[in-house]
Structure formats: C-alpha cells, structure tokens
Structure 1
Amino acid sequence: MEQHRIVSQDKWLAAQKAHLAEEKALTHARDALAEKRRALPWVKVEKRYSFDTPDGRKTLADLFNGRSQLIVYHFMLGPDWEAGCIGCSFVSDHMDGALMHVEQRDVAYVAVSRAPLGKIEAFKKRMGWHFKWVSSFGSDFNFDHHVSFTPEQRATGRIDYNFQIHETKEPGFDSDEMPGVSLFYKDEAGDVFRTFSAYGRGVEPLIGAYDLLDITPKGRDEEHGMTDWMRHHDRYDNPKHESGGCCH
C-alpha cells in the first residue's frame, strides 16, 4: 500500500465532513433510483415454467411459497460443471442470514441453475447453505432470461446479456452461463409478472462483504476483479487454491 497523506486532526475532520456531504447525496440518489426501479413497467409471464425441486416438480408460481414477491438468483452452475461459480457462491454466502428478515416482508427467494437437481443438492450440502435452490434443467427459463447460452448462440460470437449484445471474445463472456437476478410479482388471481432483472455488476447490492471492503483503507484491492482473490469459502485454507474466471 502506498504512503498515504497524513494531516492534522482539524484537516482530517474537515475532509470527513466534506465527504459526508457527498455520501448523503449518494444516499438520496440511491433512494430516488430505487423509487424509479419500483415504478418500472412489468411484463406478464405467459410461459409455464417448471423446475425440479426436493419436493417434486414446481411451477414458477409455486416458488413464491405463499408470498407475493419472488427474488430469483440466476446461479451459474451448468449441467456439465463440476462446481458452482465462485462469484455466485460469494453472493450466496450472504443469503441465509438475510432471508430470515427478508421473508418477513412478503418476499420469497430461490436460486435457479441449469444443473440437474442432484448436482445442485451436492454442492449446496458442501457449502452448508439452506436457501431454496432448484433446477431448470430441460426448461427454457435460463435461456429466456438470457443467463444461459446454447452452443449455437455462442458459435455466432455474439450473446445477448445485460440488455445488450456482447462479443464472446470479450473477457468473461465466452461462457455457457452468466449471473443475474430477476424479480417477480404474483397477484391475487395467480398471474405472475416479471418486474426487474439485473446482471453483471448489477447483482453487487446483494454482496454485503463488498460494502465492508469498500470502507477499508485498501478497499476491494482487486486488479482485475473478484477472481483475483476469491475462492469458495471452504477453499481459502487450501494451499492449492482453486481459481476461476466464471464471473466478471
């Protein structure tokens, strides 16, 4: 870490106050953006999606579990993958503690991956997670939400992700799976609506550890991104650290 500027207590306090004004402006701007997000138009989900779950086949409407709002985390774990994405695992490490509170606000949460349920259950057990995680294997769900890509799509050299077209030669984009989060609402008639989706760095608000790192002197201390240092949480003490570039 480079030598940092050292000042008197008075100058330190003046700098803190000036920064606080910017922090407050950002807080107000974030609140205003959240209002705009809630005001975005919705689209009705017309297709009947179904998922493999530990309790049998379930529809998208079933995943609400008696609530009117549903958060779906698009977890990168493809049918042929040996383990879940390191970045998605980092996100998921934050979920269980938060959900005990979130579920009190009429919100359900579920992770969805294309891997078969058995592979999901095995990795979930390894990581010690308890949130609901289901398989969309054999379904169009991941493809319709632009987080999974067929070999034919990748062969074109262009994929539709995060509401824009990317060249697969871009770092991080030559993958059959990508991360994201989608939000849904179910009305009293049982109709389901997609209200919002975010991809790439748009899922960072789910990562509390980054908020902690952002207030430290070194910050995130990443040269190329999270995979500079991040590992599955049961691999940090392993001298043969695994690494991966599955998220960007």
Structure 2
Amino acid sequence: MPANFPRMAFPNESPAYREARNALLDAEIALRRQTESVAEMRRNLPPGGEVPEDFEFERIGANHRPEKVRLSQLFGEFPSIMLYSFMFGPERDSPCPGCTHLLDGIDGSAEHVAQRAPFYVVSRSPIARLEALAHERGWDHLVMLSTAGNSYSDHYYGNTSALTPAMREHRGFKNGENWDEPMLNVFRKDGDTVSHFWGSELVFAPDEPGQNHRAMDFADPVWGLLDTIPEGRGATFFPKLSYA
C-alpha cells in the first residue's frame, strides 16, 4: 500500500471528492509501481533468437536517393534498435489511421529517443511512397524503411502470415487471408550477432471486452490524454487521417 503523505486539495472540492480522489491516487501509485515492475521484467529478458538472415531494406540515403541497408547496419554505435511495422502496404490506398496517429505523436519523440536507440518505421510499400507520406504528414524525425522484397514482416509479425493455425483459429482469421499489423520489435546486436529481444505480442493477445488490443498505448499520447477526461476514449471515437 502507498505510504501516507500530505495530499493536495483544490478549491471548493467536497469531502466525497477528496476521498475518491485519494483512493484513485493510491491506485495510480500502484499502477506506477506495476509499470516499472513490468519494464524491469522486459529489460531482464534473456537473449532472444538470432535473426534468420541479415534482412536488406531500402531507405533514402544522405544523397536523397534510395539505397540498400542491412539490418545489422541499422544499429550504428548503439546496441539496440526499434522497428515499428507500419500498416501501409502496397495494397492499401491510404495508411492505417491507428498507425498514422501513433506515428504523428512518435515523430516528436523520435529525435530524443534516437539519443538512446534508433527508431525505424518499416512497411512493405516502396520507399518513395513512404517518403511521400512522411513529407505529407510532416514527419521530420522518423526514418522510413521499405521491406519490399524481403521477408522481415513474415518472420516478425508485421503481417498475419506468420501466425500458427491455432492462432488463426483463435482469432477467427481465415487461411490465405493476410494483412499487415502494427508490430513493434526490438533487436540487439552483440558483436556480429543480431538477435530479437522483444516484440509487442499484446497485439495478438485476446482483447478485453469492449477494448481493442491497446498494445502500443504506452507510446500513444492520444489515448493517454483521453483517459484523463470524464468522457474517456469514447465508445465510437477513433483517430482519422484528417479532420474537417
């Protein structure tokens, strides 16, 4: 239980409000502790599986022209990298609004995050298409990578093709019908060996009643802010690509 400490009080609040708010604060403190406990468990994971190949991506280079780059080259001087699978494959006329609003928020953080570990956005669309969208959205700090021509998404759940038959049956997915998914994967490099460290498997875990998977809420300011208002997230609200 949280230790006793002096509590705040706002003008004209009732005793009933303060009692309820104090109880909520205790719960928030417990959640803060649980959040750190989960983060510690994540940091202490043993090494994951070595990547099956040194995947080749395409990006826009320093000369503003497309260039090939291997997974092992994405680390630079850092031991860890993050790759976010963006739902904007070549079969889509427009990007996923859920991924897009998330990346709108992450773009502002990416410059700071990159001081500790590189963050990349990967998608099966050609790099020119990805760069055009980044320019349209004003993403100045996100580094886009095209997975067109490689099997990265098939191995690391950037689409549903890697799901086992049991997973497909549990989720109600038909065989032969596949689509991209919003998967975040972390990789580590030790010498010449690149291994998987963590993936946002909560994407594919059963949803709570009345909720979506919420697998990336820890990095999503939209949902975090809406959780603070009486109306909450709303039963029908979902971010759009643009608003009137």
Q: TM-score, normalised by structure 1?
A: 0.78
Q: Which of 68, 79, 104 is the aligned partner of 1:68?
A: 79
Structure 2: which amino acid aligns with 1:116? P
Residues 134-173 of structure 1 deviation map (CA, whole Å, 9 limit, x = unaligned): 10001010011122245xx89x9x5857xx952226xxxx
Partner SS state of residue 52, structure 2: coil
On the 8 A contact 1:214/1:220 being kept in 2, the answer is yes
On the 8 A contact 1:115/1:137 being kept in 2, the answer is yes
On the 8 A contact 1:73/1:111 being kept in 2, the answer is yes
Structure 1: which amino acid aligns with 2:243? Y
Structure 1: which amino acid aligns with 2:184? V
Tell me what 2:200 maps to: 198
Where does the alignment leave 5 or more consecutive residues of structure 1 unmatched? 1-6, 238-248
Q: CA RMSD in A?
A: 2.4
Tell me what 1:49 maps to: 55
Cα separation, 1, equivalents of 2:56 and 2:226: 38
Cα separation, 2, equivalents of 1:160 and 1:49: 25
Cα separation, 2, equivalents of 1:118 and 1:44: 30
On the 8 A contact 2:85/2:158 being kept in 1, the answer is yes
Tell me what 2:128 maps to: 118
Count of residue pairs brought into register by the alignment: 213
On the 8 A contact 2:83/2:122 being kept in 1, the answer is yes
On the 8 A contact 2:217/2:224 being kept in 1, the answer is no
Tell me what 2:138 maps to: 128
Cα separation, 1, equivalents of 2:158 and 2:56: 17
Cα separation, 2, equivalents of 1:43 and 1:29: 27
CA apart distance, 1:175: 4.7
Where does the alignment leave 5 or more consecutive residues of structure 2 unmatched? 1-11, 62-66, 204-213
Cα separation, 1, equivalents of 2:120 and 2:167: 24
Q: Which of 169, 190, 210 is the aligned partner of 2:223?
A: 210
Tell me what 1:231 maps to: 240
Which structure's residues are more often strand, by fraction? 1
CA apart distance, 1:231: 0.6
